[in-house]
């Protein structure tokens, strides 16, 4: 079974056909058969990304994630759930610090900062578990807004498995966020 997590004009990770509820319904329908999760997304909700990641990791069948064009931000977390990750030689993967749009007094804003730090620690653990890299290295990549290609992630033209390779970023650029109004990431 194939599951497509492709952004639309109104949906990003956490909404519509990119929500954890949608992915769960698709996995229930697959009933243990192998699934291929195709990703082309700028990201969205870190919380939904973690929920999707957990759903895919617990799924009894084999899960292969395909980065078809872009797995950025929260979508990069979903990509890490694949027992096998396949990445087009033209695709990109991007990781960065979690973000939130927020308002309030100083105490309320400090609570948001604390939550963002907790969220980053959870995301970093997912990247560490998949890459085998230490926390200092992974957090440095997150803090730098790191863009990666299949060549950065594996010496082969297609990433056959991040489980056996390390993050090797070779370039970084700034990221311009889309209009998708999703929280955290």
pLDDT tens for 87-139 read 887 889 999 999 988 889 999 999 999 999 999 999 999 999 988 889 999 99
pLDDT at 154: 57
Assigned token pair, 15:
């909404």
Q: What are phi and psi of 32, to 5 degrees?
A: 90, -10
pTM equals 0.83
Q: Is there a contact between 142 and 120 (Cβ–Cβ < 8 Å)?
A: yes
pLDDT single digits (tens) 24-51: 999 999 999 999 999 999 999 999 999 9
The domains found in the chain, sorted by start residue, are: 2-164 (3.90.226.10)
DSSP three-state, residue 185 = coil
C-alpha 122/C-alpha 63 separation (Å) is 21
149 or 24, higher pLDDT = 24
């Amino acid at each position: 079974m194939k599951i497509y997590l492709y952004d639309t004009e109104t949906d990003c990770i956490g909404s519509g056909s990119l929500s954890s509820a949608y992915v769960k319904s698709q996995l229930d329908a697959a009933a243990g058969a192998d699934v291929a999760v195709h990703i082309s997304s700028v990201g969205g909700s870190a919380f939904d990304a973690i929920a999707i990641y957990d759903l895919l990791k617990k799924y009894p069948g084999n899960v292969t994630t395909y980065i078809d064009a872009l797995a950025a931000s929260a979508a990069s977390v979903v990509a890490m759930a694949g027992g096998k990750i396949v990445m087009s030689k033209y695709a990109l993967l991007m990781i960065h610090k979690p973000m939130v749009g927020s308002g309030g007094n100083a105490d309320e804003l400090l609570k948001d900062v604390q939550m963002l730090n907790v969220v980053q620690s959870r995301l970093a653990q997912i990247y560490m578990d998949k890459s085998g890299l230490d926390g200092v290295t992974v957090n440095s990549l997150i803090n730098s807004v790191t863009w990666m290609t299949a060549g950065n992630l594996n010496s082969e033209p297609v990433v056959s498995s991040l489980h056996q390779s390390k993050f090797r970023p070779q370039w970084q650029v700034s990221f311009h966020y889309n209009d998708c109004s999703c929280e955290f990431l």
